[in-house]
Amino acid sequence: MIPISKPIIGKEEKEAVLTVLDSGIIAAGKKVKEFEAEFAKFTGVKHAIAVSNGTCSLHTALFMNNIGKGNRVITTPFTFIATGNSVLHTGAEPVFADINEEDFNISPEAIEKELKKDIFRKIKAIMVVHLFGQACDMDKINALAKKYGLIVIEDAAQAHGAKYKDKKAGNLGDAGSFSMYATKNMTTAEGGMVTTNSDKADEIARSFINHGSEKIYFHTRIGYNYRTTDIEAAIGLEQLKKLDSFNAKRRENAEKLKTMLKAYDWIKTPGENKDNFHIYHQFTIKVKNGKRDELLKSLNDSGVGAKIFYPLSLHQQPFYKETLKRKYSLPVSEKTATEVISLPVGPSLTDADFKTIEEAFIKFAKTV
């Protein structure tokens, strides 16, 4: 089976981990600081704070920007559940705005529609998700934030190295959040990173991820153990060196897939918006003929590890349907969830893999 994603771990990562293990300092030490500095430099921000996973990163990004009980946060329903859950973790309430049909990202027009309804001004932040590796329309979103006095937080869990105009994801709002999970464009196995240009937010975040401590056994706020380790940081440093080449290969593979799938008018391949540098965390197609589930089964049976992200939007999840104070109708998100399939696009794809994928589509097309 061609996997939908596969971490690429080389000898450099293995040697770096062994060096840390031999050093005797395996918790949050100098390697974490080095990783933070290099990631901040890569992203173009002043501060980067390494944490234990992407969900912790989102929670931290919200907390350090004073989002909490009584507040609301606008976000997308078409995303992994950690996006919405992190808002709940702070005591705030998620508000879902529909997505664009073309790029799967939150719609600025839908955001403003929600803002106009917010007569009591409880919405304090917009949390965008740069889904599948393409940044949102940040000029329009930042303009809305300025107009309504809101914080902008980027869920860039799938966007390491993605760009909007001349800036990288994680440096397009007030705070950025990254996941370093094994399936991401770069990995530390588990891990995350928070980014900001604010000295105050950086100070709060570093305390928050360390039990609310500013110095040992002196605690000034609520906090958690969201620290990461030198082991993960050592992996991250080596992965970061390779990230540009990983992303370049993903873009090359995406173009090959687009060319391959041009023959099928019932498939819509992903586009790249003019202001964007798409890094194709996922290559997500739409199947227009109502045969999405049949195609998925056929691809899997042919050895192609295609997958659906996400079969239910957040407002359709059982937990959210029970807990949300309002009912949502988000037609674009709901329709998209019934049409999408993601195909393998990672850097490790071989010519033989592309042949397998092509033959799988040819086989299925004969049944359409």
Active-site annotation, residues? 184
112 vs 258: CA distance, rounded Å: 33
CA distances from 177 to 105, 206, 276 (A): 16, 14, 19
Cα four-point dihedral sign 201, 204, 210, 214: positive
Q: Are 77 and 330 in contact (CB under 8 A)?
A: yes
50 vs 230: CA distance, rounded Å: 10
Of the candidates 140, 239, 125, 141, the one whose C-alpha atom is nearest the C-alpha of residue 193 is: 239
CA distances from 257 to 157, 251, 329 (A): 23, 10, 33
Question: Helices 11-23 and 230-261 meet at what angle, rounded to 10?
Answer: 170
Q: Convert 38-64 to b/e letters by CB count within 10 Å (16 or more is b).
A: bbbebbebebbbbbbbbbbbbbbbbbb
CA distances from 318 to 17, 106, 336 (A): 41, 22, 19
261 vs 254: CA distance, rounded Å: 11
Q: Residue 57 — left, alpha, or beta (φ > 0 → left; ψ -120 to 50 → alpha)? A: alpha
